[in-house]
Amino acid sequence: MKVAEFINARTIEKMRLEIKKTRGNEVFFRGIPDEEGIVADVEVIARGNSSSVAALLNMMRKNEVIIHNHPSDIDSV
């Protein structure tokens, strides 16, 4: 399985840019799927540090997905 099978290219790039803004620290995203179930957009819900980020689940809506990075794996999004 590859990330590109579940998240469109524009959204992957948006996530990369948001992660770069935090200098690689953890970021918690709300993934918003399209009609086919592919994540077509993301919203940053929380920014963390090098080892953790708050998981603000109350910000999620039905059918959305939780996405967050691990700083040691920043370029594999």
Give pLDDT tens digits for 1-51: 888 899 999 999 999 999 999 988 999 999 999 999 999 999 999 999 988
Question: Is residue 13 a part of any domain in this protein?
Answer: yes
Question: One-letter amino acid identity for 74?
Answer: I
Range of the domain at 50: 3-71
pTM of model > 0.85: no
**Total count of domains within the chain:** 1
Among candidates 76, 24, 16, 67, which has minimal Cα distance to 48?
24
CA–CA distance, 70 with 13 (Å, rounded to integer): 16
Question: Is residue 77 a part of any domain in this protein?
Answer: no
Question: Is residue 76 a part of any domain in this protein?
Answer: no
